Amino acid sequence: MAASTLTEVARLAGVSPATASRVLNGSARKPGPGVSERVRQAAETLGYIPNAQAQALAKSSSGLVGLIVHDIADPYFSAIARGVQEVAREQHKMVLLATTGGTPADEKEAVAAFAARRADAIVIAGSRSRRPEDEKGNADLAAELDRYCRNGGHVGVVGQAIVGAGALDGYHLVEVPNEELAMELAGKLAASYSGDFVIIGGPEGLITSDDRIRGFQSGLAAAGRPAAEVLRASFNRAGGYEAGLELARRIQDARASGASKEGEKPGLCILAANDVMAIGATAGLRSQGFRIPRDALIAGFDDIETLRDFRPGLSTVRLPLEEIGRLATLSTAGAEAPDGGDGHDDDGPSVTGQVTLRRSTEWTP
Q: What is the pLDDT of residues 276-296, one digit of tens each?
A: 999 999 999 999 999 999 999
- Are residues 197 and 164 part of one domain? no
- Given this model, what pLDDT does residue 120 score? 92
**pTM for the whole structure:** 0.80
Mean pLDDT of 107-118: 92
- 344 lies in a domain? no
- Given this model, what pLDDT does residue 340 score? 37
- 340 lies in a domain? no
- Are residues 109 and 196 part of one domain? no
Range of the domain at 163: 64-176+323-334
- Are residues 225 and 168 part of one domain? no
- Are residues 252 and 189 part of one domain? yes
Mean pLDDT of 124-149: 93
- Given this model, what pLDDT does residue 264 score? 65
- Are residues 187 and 156 part of one domain? no
Which one has a higher pLDDT value, 307 or 12?
Answer: 307
Decide if pLDDT at 160 tops 60.
yes
- Are residues 139 and 189 part of one domain? no
- pLDDT tens digits for range 312-332: 999 999 999 999 999 999 998
- Given this model, what pLDDT does residue 3 score? 65
- Are residues 303 and 207 part of one domain? yes
Task: Report the CATH number at residue 33.
Answer: 1.10.260.40
- 282 lies in a domain? yes
- Are residues 84 and 32 part of one domain? no
- 274 lies in a domain? yes
- Given this model, what pLDDT does residue 116 score? 87
Query: How large a percentage of the chain has pLDDT more than 90?
Result: 64
- 343 lies in a domain? no
* Number of folded domains that form the chain: 3
Q: Report the 3 state secondary structure along the chain.
A: CCCCCHHHHHHHHCCCHHHHHHHHCCCCCCCCHHHHHHHHHHHHHHCCCCCHHHHHHHHCCCCEEEEEECCCCCHHHHHHHHHHHHHHHHCCCEEEEEECCCCHHHHHHHHHHHHHCCCCEEEEECCCECCHHHHHHHHHHHHHHHHHHHCCCEEEEEECCCCCCCCCCCEEEEECCHHHHHHHHHHHHHHHCCCEEEEEECCCCEHHHHHHHHHHHHHHHHCCCCCCEEEECCCCHHHHHHHHHHHHHHHHHHHHCCCCCCCCCCCEEEEECCHHHHHHHHHHHHHCCCCCCCCCEEECCECCHHHHHCCCCCEEEECCHHHHHHHHHHHHCCCCCCCCCCCCHHHCCECCCEEECCHHHCCCC
Lowest mean pLDDT among 40-54, 79-93, 278-292: 40-54
Which of 26, 44, 59 corresponds to the end of one domain? 59
Decide if pLDDT at 127 tops 50.
yes
Exposure of 102 in the CB half-sphere (CA atoms within 13 A): 20
Task: Report the CATH number at residue 219.
Answer: 3.40.50.2300
- 345 lies in a domain? no
* 365 band by pLDDT with thresholds 50, 70 and 90: low
- Are residues 147 and 44 part of one domain? no
- 342 lies in a domain? no
- 14 lies in a domain? yes
- Are residues 171 and 121 part of one domain? yes
- pLDDT tens digits for range 171-225: 999 999 999 999 999 999 999 998 999 999 999 999 999 999 999 999 999 999 9
- Given this model, what pLDDT does residue 42 score? 80
